[in-house]
Structure 1
Amino acid sequence: MNQSESFYQLALTLVAGVGDVLIRHLISYSGSATAVFQSSAGKLMKIPGVGEVTARAILSPEVLKEAERVTQQTEALGVKTVFYTDKCYPSRLKSLYDAPALFYWQGNADLNTGRTLGIVGTRQATDYGRRMTEEIIQALKAYQPLIISGLAYGIDIAAHRASLQHGLPTIGVMASGIDVIYPSVHQKTAQEMRHHGALLTESRPGTKPDAHLFPARNRIIAGLSDVVIVVEAAAKGGALITAEYANNYHRDVFAVPGQVNQSFSQGCNKLIRENKAQIYTRPEDLVEALNWDKPLEMHTNPLLDRALDFTEEESQVIALLRQLTDEHIDDISWKTGLPMGTLAALLLNLEFKGIIRSLPGKRYGLG
């Protein structure tokens, strides 16, 4: 049966033992997801990280049968899949080593909008926490950020509802299938978000929420956000995991301070004490740190302002390098999914145009 490239991209994510990083390697070496499934076991085993067991798993007929079932589910639900090589894949995620190779989503939010804000916190929010969440969103409305959270009880749902109330788009990143709203009492809010934002998950339809899926969900919240604000958090929990990811991804992190004798202030106060978060006392703290008071600027290279006719592949590389100071050619290859031969020629062409520059150690950055 002839299938589209997107079908084989989806199928790759369903292969047992094949994760996000290996998917990038497979496509980098093979050229496309379709080519991966058309390869022999011997050819696959020449790819670093692919052994006999993995090669057999990739070529199992059950994988494509399962991909057909999942495709039917997504079509019935009106769910879209976005692969990391797609033009609409969020540029903020593309530069991360552990970004999801594919995610499912419903909605109309611009995933590459100019300003994004993650708001997270405890499921057992106090009146103070809910009030601070709404005040933050109301105060930042003028900057039109995309609000990102996890659709959970407490601070998460307060952030989503305040965003909808103030006319800001909001994304709920889920630790379940997109058709499994958890908790179920948030169905109504989730439905509103489909029309004024989006729901997003890397889990296939029908997936029930499980403990190991929540930290994975938190990395996506951090990766999509320019800044993460922790409003209330206990000494341990998902909000602190999100803050840890945000720090690892070199995102700004803020924490709302709380009373020293309150359990759900411990996490925020700890982040501030350990210099893992800046203290949030007023909207201007965040606006000044992120330069939101200045016009949006996507880049500093004046050549990029000209009406150059970049190919889709060139645009992928440029979008990646905008997020980074510089990057090794091997990492550019697996993050963009471009085969090494294609990438080398593309980089040379962009260097001739003055768009990028080559650096010592096979690294590249914007010119």
Structure 2
Amino acid sequence: MHLSDLQFILALQHVPNLGDATAKKLIRHAGSAEAVFKEKLNTLLKIDGVGKFKLQDLKDPSHLRAAEKEIEFIERNRIKCLYFQDEDYPEKLKHCLDGPILLFQRGNIDLKQKKIISIVGTRNATNHGLAFCERLIEELSPLDPVIVSGFAYGIDICAQKAAVKNELQTIGCLAHGLNQIYPKIHQKYVSGIEEHGGFLTDFWSADAFDRNNFLKRNRIIAGMSEATIVIESAEKGGSLVTGDIANSYNREVFAVPGRPSDTQSSGCNMLIKSQQAHVLTSAADLLYILNWHPEEKLNPVQKQLFVELDSEEKLLYGYLKENGKEQLDLIALNCSIPTFKAASLLLNMELKGVVRPLPGKLFEVI
């Protein structure tokens, strides 16, 4: 992107009360951000949904001066800028009306031909919630998904640490500019995340840190992903907002159920009860709803005649061969293997081409 183009894009982003949806309308009408500033106000006011209030500060030259200053920060810190019409801008976020016209990126992010999921949850996670999060990401690792979260306390940072541990790409969506890290205690995770992905934000280095930024940030988490997973949430919280935004974008939402007495599961239970989220108990649920097939990640080579299975996989294979189609819970019960572990073993067996999943959490031998 040429610096002069970037300056006008930044300037447009800097105009108060304009918003990303209106900015996109103006750009599509005029042809470019620069052309928007050169267009007559009377002409722009004829665009549907664009009023005087939104354009009252458009011609203020301070926007271009502010943009020039921000470019100095961008160049000095080698930050990559993603314009909403660029090829490397997150594809699914392009289809969100209020998606940012410009994103700032740091790290080694590559989203081409990737399955992308967001994982969010309470900052006050229980040991059960943290363990489930780690286990889920380990179960999903054969599909090489990108794990997106908010780099916050609790479930967010647990998901991103688990992604790094499993050599998966992970993206932290920040509620502030790339001139700082919040919370500061997470500074120790920055290098690992940048090595295995990176950070995205639409906030400038000059933007004041505000708690309302978190709600605005959540649209990026929900918008760039195929599905949003909520692991533990109280009755109110940012995780529920992210799930609501994901639903508004017609994306799939999953929630991990908990006991009625569990305060940190009340939000998840509400999402499930109100049919705003699918029940998530293992990776198999996610694969079934999203119609993800592990074999898509394999090279199209001839099926192996002899597949090596470990002792537990042989146990599951023998059970399915003898009993035919069977549900995941019954397979786990009759083989005396925990359900979460049976789901992971069956996923590996899918990758090896010896079993296949069927609707209703059923599995059968191929």
- Find the aligned partners of 1:262 and 1:52 in 2 and give their Cα distance: 50
| Kept in 1: contact 2:257–2:279 (CA 8 A) | yes
Tell me how large the CA RMSD over aligned residues is: 1.9
Aligned partners of 2:116 and 2:146 also within 8 Å: yes
* Displacement of 1:86: 1.2
Structure 1 residue 28: Cα displacement: 1.6
Question: Who is 1:154 aligned against?
Answer: 154
Against the structure 1 CA distance between its residues 71 and 172, is the aligned structure 2 distance closer, same or farther, given a 3 Å change threshold? same
Check conservation: 1:114, 1:296, Cα contact below 8 A: no
- Residue identity matched to 1:158: C
Aligned position for 1:336 = none
Q: Residue 219 of structure 1 aligns with which residue?
A: 219
Instruction: Report what 1:232 is aligned to.
Output: 232
How far apart are 1:211 and its partner, in Å? 2.2
Corresponding position of 2:193: 193
Cα 1:295–1:8 change in 2 (3 A) is farther
Q: State the 1:97 CA deviation.
A: 1.5
- Secondary structure of 1:254's partner? strand
C-alpha deviation, 1:51, in angstroms:
4.7
Match of 1:170 in 2: 170
The residue matched to 1:117 in structure 2 has which SS? strand
Find the counterpart in structure 2 of residue 248 from structure 1. 248
Shift of 1:17: 2.0
- Supply the AA of the counterpart residue of 1:137: I
- Displacement of 1:22 in angstroms is 1.2
Displacement of 1:245: 1.1
Letter in 2 for 1:152: A
Letter in structure 1 aligned against 2:284: E
Counterparts in 2 of 1:136 and 1:30: CA distance versus 1, 3 Å:
same
- Following superposition, the deviation at residue 206 of structure 1 comes to 3.9
Instruction: Report how far residue 41 of structure 1 moved.
Output: 3.7
1:252-331 equivalences in 2 (<5 Å): 252-293=252-293, 296=296
Structure 1 residue 48: Cα displacement: 4.0
Q: 1:49 offset after TM fit, Å?
A: 4.5
1:213-269 deviation digits (Å, cap 9, x = unpaired): 111111111111111111110011011111111111111111111122121011111
What amino acid maps onto 1:88 in structure 2? Answer: D
Number of residues of Structure 1 aligned to a counterpart in Structure 2: 296
**CA offsets 1:145-202 (integer angstroms, 9 cap, x no match):** 0000000000000001011111001000111112221111111212321221110011
Q: Deviations over 1:32-53 (max 9, x none)?
A: 1111122234444444444556
- Say whether the 8 Å CA contact 1:155–1:231 is kept in structure 2: yes
Does the 8 A contact of 1:178 with 1:201 survive in 2?
A: yes
Give the C-alpha shift of residue 141 in structure 1. 0.3
Q: Which ranges of structure 1 fall in alignment gaps of 5 or more residues?
A: 298-367
| Greater mean deviation of Cα atoms: 205-214 or 230-239 | 205-214
Match in the other structure for 1:139: 139
CA, structure 1 residues 56+199, in 2 after alignment: closer, same or farther (shift >3 Å)?
Answer: same
**Higher relative contact order by CA 8 Å / sep ≥ 6: 1 or 2?**
1
**Aligned partners of 1:114 and 1:273: how far apart in 2?**
31
Shift of 1:291: 1.8
Q: Which residue of 2 aligns with 1:124?
A: 124
Within 2, Cα distance between the matches of 1:277 and 1:44?
41
- How much does 1:113 deviate? 3.6
Q: Give the whole-Å Cα distance in 2 for the aligned partners of 1:214 and 1:246.
A: 15
Could you say if the C-alpha distance between residues 198 and 187 of structure 1 is closer, same or farther in structure 2, counting changes exceeding 3 Å? same
Instruction: Assess, with a 3 A threshold, how the Cα gap between structure 1 residues 94 and 296 changes in structure 2: closer, same or farther.
Output: farther
SS in structure 2 at match of 1:104: strand
Question: Alpha-carbon deviation of 1:92?
Answer: 0.3
1:22 maps to: 22
For residues 145 and 181 of structure 2, the distance between their equivalents in structure 1, rounded to whole angstroms, comes to 24
Aligned-partner Cα distance in 1 for 2:30–2:201: 27
Which runs of no fewer than 5 residues in structure 2 stay unpaired? 298-366
Contact 1:41 1:56 in 2 (8 A): no
Question: Which one-letter code corresponds to 2:271 in the other structure?
Answer: L
* Contact residue 149 and residue 171 of structure 1 kept, 8 A: yes
Q: Which amino acid aligns with 1:284?
A: A
Change in Cα spacing, 1:3 to 1:270, as seen in structure 2 (3 Å) is: closer
Moved more, 34-43 or 20-29: 34-43
Matches of 2:79 and 2:159, distance apart in 1: 24
**AA in 2 matched with 1:202:** D
Please say which structure displays the higher CA radius of gyration.
2
SS of 1:82 mapped into structure 2: strand
Note if contact 2:79-2:106 (Cα within 8 Å) is conserved in structure 1: yes
1:89-100 superposed matches below 5 A:
89-100=89-100
Residues 28, 72 of structure 1: CA spacing in aligned structure 2 closer, same or farther, 3 A cutoff? same
Question: Normalising by the residue count of structure 1, what TM-score does the alignment of the two structures yield?
Answer: 0.76
Matching residue's letter, 1:125: A
Between the aligned partners of 1:41 and 1:235, the Cα distance in structure 2 is 46
Report SS of the residue matched to 1:57. Answer: coil
Q: Secondary structure at the match of 2:14?
A: coil
1:71-113 CA distance string (max 9 Å, x none): 1011112111111111211110111121111111112122344
Conserved 8 A contact 2:143-2:294: no
Distance in 2 separating the partners of 1:231 and 1:54: 38
